[in-house]
Structure 1
C-alpha cells in the first residue's frame, strides 16, 4: 500500500521540475512512511511513497522492466501476482523481485492495456513506456484505491493517489466546481469522476487513461462493469454452498502478506463472516480489532466479543467517547474535499487502534451492496411495486401534491413520516432512489443556495449522476438497479473513500475481500429474491453463514457505525455549528442563502426539526474551506530512493 504521484508533459519537450515532483510526493508521506522514490527523464516524472507489505527487502518504486524502457508506480495489491508471475516467466519475462508490482510491468509488456484484465486486486497505477512514448493509468474495478488527475494550463498532466498531491502544484487553479457543490450537498460527498475543484478529476473505477506524446487528448475508457448476469439455475442450498466456497477463496487470496495481518470486527454480519473465514484459514489465532462506545445506543462491542470468543481471536478493543468530535478539522485535511459521512470519526479511531497491532487489516465492506443489506433497498423495491400498479397520469399528480404539502414530521412515529415516500412515489425508480439517499433532498437544496449560485448551476440537478449510471445499468431488475447505483456512487465515493483516507492516515492497509471483483461478478448474478426476501436483506448471505455465526449476530437489527450527531449539534457543538455555518467563511463564498442557513440552525437547536444531516454537511464544508483552501504544506520528508541511478547502471 502506497502513494503515487506523477507529472507528464504531453508535448514531450520539457524537463520535469524535480523539486516540484518531490513536493507532490511528500504531501502523501503518511501513505508510505517506510521510504520514497523519485524518477525523472525528459517530459516525465514519477514519485512513490512506500508502505512495505510484500517482499520487504526489494520492490522499491518506481520499478522498471529488464531493459529499463517501461517504468511503473503502483498503489495497492495484486492478489494473483504469484500465478501471474509464473505465467509471465513461462512467456519469457525475467523478474528481479518477488513483489506484486513487477508483474504489472511485465503484464504491460505482454498484453498492453489489456493487462488490467489479468490483474486481480485493488490498484491505482501509472506506466510509462518509453518505446511507445505512452503514459497509461488504471484504477481497480470497484474503486477501492483512489487516483486523481488534472491537466494544467501549460499542457502538463499530473496525477496522484490523493487530491492534495496535485493541489500542491502552483499551476492548478483551486476554483470550486459549481456542479460538484450541488452534488456534495445532495450526496454528502463528490461522486466520481468530479472533484470539488473544477480543474481536477477522479479516474472512475474500472477505467483507464492512455496519453501519447504529442497528442494533448486524454483518452479515457471503461474496461469493466458489474455484469448482473443471472447465474445458471441452481437451488438455494447449492448457491449457499457456492457462496461459502467463493468467500473463503476471496478471503484466502487477501491474506497474503509479509507483515502482521488482522481483521476489523464490528460484530456485524459482514465483518464477522470475514473473520470466521480467516479463522478457518489461519494456523494461528487471528488478530481482531474493534472499538466500543460509552453509550449503549451506539455500542456493538458485545457482539464483536461474542465472535472473537467463538473463534478465539487475539481481540483488541478500545472504548471511544461518544463525544469524540475533535477530529472535524483533521478529517477535513485528510479528505481534501468536503466529506459529510460522520462515521469517518469512528472509522479513523478503529484504524488508529488496528495499526497498533497490525499493518494489514481485512474489512467487511461491500456486503450490503452485494447482498442488498441496506433497509432502503426494501423500501425502494416496495415503492417500485406501487408505482407499477398505478398509472402515471394518476400517480404523479396525486403523490406529487402529497409530497409537496405533507409536513416534514421528524417528531412523529415512523409510520407517519411519509413525505419522502410520497415524493418517491411521484417520481421514477432512479429519481425516487436519489431522493431517498440524499442528505439534503430537493426541498432543502432548493432553498440552500443564493440566487447567484443557482444561476451558475444553470438548472443542473445532482440526480443526473444517478440517471447517467442508470442508463448504463446492465439490468432492468429494480433491486439490481439500485444496487448498481450504489456500486457506482455510494460505495466508491463514500465507503471506500472513508476507509482509504482513515487507514492511510495511520499507514494501515485495509483489504476488502467482499469486493474481490470475481466474487462481485458472481454475487451480482444471484436472483434478487434470494438477496431480499420477505423484507429481509442479505437473505442468502445470512443463510450461508448459519454454520459459522449465531442467529444473534446474523439476525439482530442493523446498527451501522453511527455517532450521535443530532445531540452533538444541540450540545457541545452548539456554539461551533452556529459560528461555522453562519460565520464569515461561509458568507464570503456567495454560495449560500444565509437566511435559510440561519433557519436550519435555529430549528435544529430549538428541537423543532432534526436538521443534523444538513448541518453536519455544512459544518464539514466550512472545515474544508478553512483547512484545505488554506495551507497545503507537505509533511516532513525522508531521503527519497532515487531510481534514476538505474539508467546508468
Structure 2
C-alpha cells in the first residue's frame, strides 16, 4: 500500500522539474511513510512513497526490471504473486526481490498490456517502457486503489494516487467542472471518470491507459467488467454449497503479510463473516477492532463482542462521542473534492484505532452491493411491481402529478411518506432507482441551484451517470440492474474512496476479500430472489454463514455506520450551519439560491423537515470551497 506519482512530457525529451515532482510526492507521504524515491529517464519522472507490507527491505520503488528495460511504481497488493513468480521464472525471467512489485514488471515484459489479466489483487500502477518509450498504467478491476491523471496545456501528463498530488503542479487548472456539482448533490461524491476539476480524471476500474511521446491524448481500454452475460444464474443450492469455501479462499490469500495483520469488526454481517473465516484459517487469535458510540442507537459494539467472544479474538474497542464532528475540515482535506458520506467520521476513527495495533486490516466491504443488503433494494423492487402493472405511458400521467404535489412528510409514519415512491413510479427502472437513492432529488436540486447555474448545465442531469452503464444490464432483472449500477458508482465513488482515504491517512492497508474479482464473478450470478427472500436482504449470504455466526448478528435490523446528523444540526452545529452555508464564499460561488439555503436550515432547526442529509452535503461542499479552492481565505 503506497502512493505513486509521475510526470511525462509529451512534447519533447525535456525531463520534468524534480522540485515539482518532489512536491507532488511529499503531499502524499501519509500513504507511504517508510520510504520515498524517484526515477528519471528522458521525458519521464516517476515517484513513490512506500508503506512496507511484504519483503520489507527488498522491494524499493521505483523499481527497474532485471533487464533494465522497464520501471514501475505500484500501489496495492498482488495476491497471486508467488504463483506468478514461479510461472515467470520457468519462462526464464530473473527476480532480484521476493515481493509482488517485480512480478508486475516481469508480467508486463512477458504479456505486455495483457499482464493485467494475470494479476489478482488491488492495484494502481504505472510502467515506463524505456524501449518503446511508452507509459502504461492500470487500475484494478473493482476500483479499490485510486488513480488520478491530468493532461496540462503545456503537454505534461500528470498522475498520482490522490487528487491533491496533481494540484501541487503550478500549472494545474483548478477550474471546477460544472456538471460534477449536479452529480455531487445527487450522489454525495463525484462519480468516475470525472473529478471536481475540469481537466483532471479518475482512471475507471478495470481500465488501462497508454501514452507515448507525440500522442495528443492517452488511449484508454477496458480489460474487465462484472460479467452479465451468463447463460443462467446460479441455483440457490449451488450458492449455499459453494459460498463459504469460495470466500474462505479469497480471505486466505489476503493473510500474507510481513507485518501485523487484523480485521475491522463492526458487528455487522460482512465484517463478522470475514473475521469468522480468518479465525478458521490462522492458528493465532485474530486482531479485531471496533468503534462504539456513546449513544445506544448508534452503537453496535455488543454484536461485535459476540463474534469476538465466539472466536476468542484479540478485540479492542474505543468509544467515541456522538458529537465527534471535529473532523469536518480534516475530511475535506483528505478527500480533495466534495464528499458527503458522514460515516467517513467513524471510518476515520476505526482506522486510527486499528493502526495502533496492526499495519494491515481486512474489511467486509462489498457484501451489501454483491448480495443485495441495502434497504433501498427492497423499496426498489416494490416500486418495480407497480411499474410492471402499467406501461410508462399510463404511469407517468397518473403518478407524476402525485409525486409533484404530495408533501414531503419526514415526520409522518413510513406508510405516509410516499412522495419519492410516487415520483419513482412515474419513471422507468433506471430513472426510478436514481430518484430513490438521490440525496437531493431532481426537484430538490432544481430549487437549491441558482437560475444561472441551472442554465449553464444545458440540460445535463446526473441521471446520465446511470445511463452510462445501464444499457449493458437492461436484459437483467430490476434487482441486478440496481446492484450493477451501485457497483459501478456507489461502491467505487463512495465506499472504496472512503476506506482508502481514511486508512491511508493513518498509513493502514485495508484488504477487501468479498471484492476479490473471482468471487465477484461467481457471486453476482446468485439469483435475486435468493438474495432478497421474504423481505430479508442478503439472505443467501446470511444463510451460508449460519453455522459460523450468532443468529442475533445475522438477522438483526441493519444499522449501518451512522452518526446523529439531525441532532448535531439542531444543537452544536447550528451556528456553523448558518455561518458556513450563508457565507460569502457560498454566495459568490454562484451555484446556489441563497433563499433556499436559508430555508433548508430554518426548516430543519424548526423540526418541520429532516434536512440533515442535504445540510451535511452542503456543509462538506462549503468546507471544500474554503480549503481546496482557497475561496474566501
Q: TM-score, normalised by structure 1?
A: 0.96
Q: Does 1:389 align with 2:389?
A: yes
Q: Is residue 249 of structure 1 aligned with residue 241 of structure 2?
A: no
CA distance in 2, matches of 1:472, 1:9: 37
- Provide the C-alpha distance between the structure 1 equivalents of 2:5 and 2:630, rounded to a whole number of angstroms: 22
Distance verdict in 2 for CA 1:592–1:232, change over 3 Å: closer
Q: CA–CA distance in 1 between the matches of 2:256 and 2:630?
A: 41
* Alignment partner, residue 629 of structure 2: 629
Contact 1:229 1:524 in 2 (8 A): no
More displaced 10-residue stretch of structure 1: 375-384 or 495-504: 375-384
> Following the alignment from structure 1 to structure 2, what is the Cα–Cα distance between the partners of residues 308 and 582?
47
Which moved further from structure 2: 620-629 or 345-354? 620-629
CA contact (8 A) 1:11 1:216 kept: no
Give the ranges of 4+ consecutive aligned residues of structure 1 lying more than 6 Å apart after TM superposition: 231-234
- Aligned-partner Cα distance in 1 for 2:590–2:148: 27
1:31 maps to: 31
Contact 1:228 1:474 in 2 (8 A): no
In the TM superposition, 1:273-312 aligns within 5 A as 273-312=273-312
Give distance in 2, aligned partners of 1:143 and 1:520.
13
* Partner residue in 2 for 1:641: none
What is the rounded CA distance, in whole Å, between the counterparts of 1:436 and 1:346 in structure 2? 25
Distance in structure 2 (CA, Å) of the matches to 1:130 and 1:484: 39
Q: Is the CA contact (8 Å cut-off) linking 2:235 and 2:526 kept in structure 1? A: no
Secondary structure at the residue paired with 1:40? Answer: strand
Residues 397-445 of structure 1: per-residue CA shift (max 9 Å, x gap):
1100100010100010011000000001000111111111111111210
Secondary structure of the corresponding residue to residue 526 of structure 2? coil
Q: Residue 373 of structure 1 aligns with which residue?
A: 373
Is contact 2:143–2:204 with CA below 8 Å preserved after alignment? yes
- Tell me, yes or no, if the aligned pair for 1:139 and 1:147 is still in contact at 8 Å: yes
Q: Aligned equivalents of 1:15 and 1:4: distance in 2?
A: 18
Q: Which residue in the other structure is 1:325 paired with?
A: 325
Partners of 1:270 and 1:364 within 8 A in 2: yes
What aligned pairs does 1:558-569 form with structure 2 within 5 A after superposition? 558-569=558-569
Helix, strand or coil at the partner of 2:454: helix
- Following the alignment from structure 1 to structure 2, what is the Cα–Cα distance between the partners of residues 233 and 21? 49
Q: Residue 236 of structure 2 contacts residue 527 of structure 2 at CA under 8 Å; is this kept in 1? A: no
Name the CA distance, whole Å, in 1 between partners of 2:234 and 2:47. 50
1:601-620 residue pairs with structure 2 within 5 A? 601-620=601-620
Write out per-residue CA displacement over residues 344-384 of structure 1, whole angstroms, 9 at most, x where no aligned residue. Answer: 00000000000000000000000001100011111112211
Matches within 5 A, 1:65-214: 65-214=65-214
CA distance in 2, matches of 1:459, 1:133: 42
Work out the CA distance in 1 between the residues paired with 2:329 and 2:596. Answer: 24
Structure 2 CA distance, aligned partners of 1:4 and 1:472?
33
Contact 2:37–2:61 (Cα < 8 Å) also in 1:
yes
User: In 1, distance between residues paired with 2:609 and 2:379?
Assistant: 23
Partner of 1:20: 20
SS state at 2:403 partner: helix
3-state secondary structure, aligned to 2:318: strand
For residues 160 and 59 of structure 2, what CA distance do their matches in structure 1 show? Answer: 20
Structure 1 residue 233 displacement after superposition: 7.2
Partners of 1:387 and 1:327 lie apart in 2 by: 43
State the TM-score, normalized to the length of structure 2: 0.98
Quote the residue 2:484 is aligned against.
484
CA shift digits 1:199-250 (9 cap, x unpaired): 1100011111011111122111111100034486765343212100101000
Residue 577 (structure 2) aligns with: 577
Verify the 8 A CA contact 2:453 2:590 in the aligned structure 1.
yes
Inter-partner Cα distance in structure 2 for 1:240 and 1:312: 26
The 1:424–1:317 alpha-carbon spacing in structure 2 relative to 1, beyond 3 Å, is: same
Please show how residues 491-530 of structure 1 align to structure 2 within 5 Å. Answer: 491-530=491-530
CA contact (8 A) 2:209 2:219 kept: yes
Between the aligned partners of 2:43 and 2:474, the Cα distance in structure 1 is 40
Q: Deviations over 1:33-60 (max 9, x none)?
A: 0010111121000000000000001111
What does the per-residue CA deviation read over 1:544-596, in whole Å, with 9 as the maximum and x for residues that have no partner? 00000111010000000000001101100000011000111101111111111
**1:514-543 superposed Cα distances (whole Å, 9 cap, x missing partner):** 000000000011111211112211111111
Mind listing any 5+ residue stretches in structure 2 that lack a counterpart? none
* 2:418 aligned residue: 418
Query: Are the equivalent residues in 2 in contact too, given 1:228–1:480 (CA < 8 A)?
Result: no
Match of 1:547 in 2: 547
Report the counterpart of residue 557 of structure 2 in structure 1.
557
C-alpha deviation, 1:475, in angstroms: 4.4
Partner of 1:531 in structure 2?
A: 531
1:231–1:526 contact (8 Å) kept in structure 2: no
Structure 1 partner of 2:334: 334
Give the CA deviation at 1:332.
0.3
How far apart are residue 393 of structure 1 and its match? Answer: 2.4
Instruction: Indicate if the aligned counterparts of 2:236 and 2:526 stay in contact, CA closer than 8 A.
Output: no
Secondary structure of 1:54's partner?
coil
CA distance in 2, matches of 1:239, 1:349: 35
Q: Is the Cα contact below 8 Å between 1:229 and 1:525 reproduced in 2? A: no
Q: 1:73-103, CA deviations, whole angstroms, 9 ceiling, x for partnerless residues?
A: 0000000000011101011100000010111
CA distance, structure 1, for counterparts of residue 174 and residue 285 of structure 2: 49
Q: Matched residues in 2 for 1:10 and 1:112: separation?
A: 21
Question: Are the aligned partners of 2:235 and 2:527 in contact in 1 as well (CA < 8 Å)?
Answer: no
Unaligned 5+ residue runs, structure 1?
A: 632-649
1:442 & 1:366 partners in 2: Cα distance? 28
**Equivalent residues of 1:228, 1:521 under 8 A apart:** no
Distance 2:594 2:540 in 1: 49
SS of aligned partner of 2:257: coil
**Mapped contact 1:227–1:474 kept (Cα < 8 A):** no
| Equivalent position of 1:9 in the other structure | 9
Aligned residues: 631
Q: Is the Cα contact below 8 Å between 2:383 and 2:425 reproduced in 1?
A: yes
1:104-148 deviation per Cα after TM superposition (whole angstroms, max 9, x unaligned)? 100100001100000000011000101111111100000000000
Aligned partners of 1:569 and 1:612 also within 8 Å: yes
Is the CA contact (8 Å cut-off) linking 1:125 and 1:139 kept in structure 2?
yes
Query: Is structure 2 residue 589 aligned with structure 1 residue 595?
Result: no
Give 2:236's aligned residue: 236
Asked whether 1:363 is paired with 2:363, we answer yes
Cα distance in 1, alignment partners of residues 466 and 530 from structure 2 = 25
State the match for 1:468 in structure 2.
Answer: 468
Shift, 1:391, TM fit: 2.4
1:128, 1:136 within 8 Å by CA — same for their partners in 2?
A: yes
SS in 1 for 2:486: helix
In the alignment, what sits opposite 1:639? none
Checking the alignment, whether the CA contact within 8 Å between 1:9 and 1:44 is kept in structure 2 is yes
